[in-house]
Amino acid sequence: MFDLHRKIAVVTGGGSGIGAAIATLFARQGAHSVVVDLDNGADGTVRAIREAGGNATVRLCDVSTPDEVARTFAGIHEELGRLDILVNNAGIAHVGTIQQTTPEDLDRLYAVNVRGVFLCARAAVDIMLQHGGGVIVNMASIASLVGVPDRFAYSMTKGAVLTMTMSIALDYVKRGIRCNCICPARVQTPFVEGYLREHYPGREDEVRRTLEAYQPIGRMGTPEEVAALALYLCSDEAAFVTGQAYPIDGGVLVA
């Protein structure tokens, strides 16, 4: 089950955290993982995949820049011949209410979290239609589904990801392209640890416990758990699934 051999899988934001876990798992299941990221952090993901016997390549790209996205996806198509899977994982965060969010903050998050998903999905659809279809998974958030305190701009962008997912699924359901999104609660990633060190020096353990307690299950999720859900949604076993938002939230939505 969940065999991805002969599949070409693009994972944006694949240099660390959830994206790295997805690219690694997909390669383990036989895919050629194309790790797309803004900087050379992606090299480490690709090196680890290759050392484990998998296939992976790096593409440096700012997903918010139309020319870079077009050039990156055209290069992937030319080099690898097709594109079967896109995981739109690249994203950035912002903490604050509407009063604590400047127009510049809003524009910065929109550029990556909304325009970046749009640009990559549009480029992927163009290629997928030439080869009989494919699968897109967008990384949304439980903030797409319920209110999360002090996350105004982030929630706005992830709500857009949710509705983009539904629109793509509806428009291309008859043309062989499936599109779903994953809605995680808090996941323990290098980003979270860096945020704790920067904003709560000396109080990291205390604040981490607060973040863990937000999930009724009593902990944050792991990148590998999110990757396992992404693997299912991108596999042939999920061939009947499209236009859905999958929470992976440790019980937040039922508490």
At 179-211, the pLDDT tens digits run: 999 999 999 998 888 888 988 999 999 999 999
pLDDT at 117: 98
Measured over the CA atoms of residue 224, residue 236, residue 72 and residue 70, the dihedral's sign is negative
Burial 7-46 (b: 16+ CB within 10 A, else e): bbbbbbbbbbbbbbbbbbbbbbbebbbbbbbbeebbeebb
Q: How far apart are CA 112 and CA 65, in angstroms?
A: 9
pLDDT at 190: 87
Candidates 169, 140, 181, 138; CA nearest to 11 is 138
Candidates 51, 14, 9; CA nearest to 26 is 9
Catalytic residues: 154
What are the residue ranges in the chain where pLDDT is below 50? none
Check: CB of residue 186 under 8 Å from CB of residue 220.
yes
pLDDT at 229: 98
pLDDT at 195: 83
Superfamily covering domain 8-185+222-246? NAD(P)-binding Rossmann-like Domain (3.40.50.720)
Check: CB of residue 68 under 8 Å from CB of residue 62.
yes
pLDDT at 76: 98
Q: How far apart are CA 36 and CA 12, in angstroms?
A: 5
Candidates 93, 84, 241, 226; CA nearest to 158 is 93
Straight-line distance from the first to the last Cα atom of the chain, in angstroms, rounded to the nearest whole number:
33
pLDDT at 255: 81
Q: How far apart are CA 205 and CA 218, in angstroms?
A: 14
Structure tokens given for 174? 């008859």
Ranges of each domain in the chain: 8-185+222-246, 188-220
pLDDT at 57: 98
- The residue written with tokens 């920067």 in the block is 198
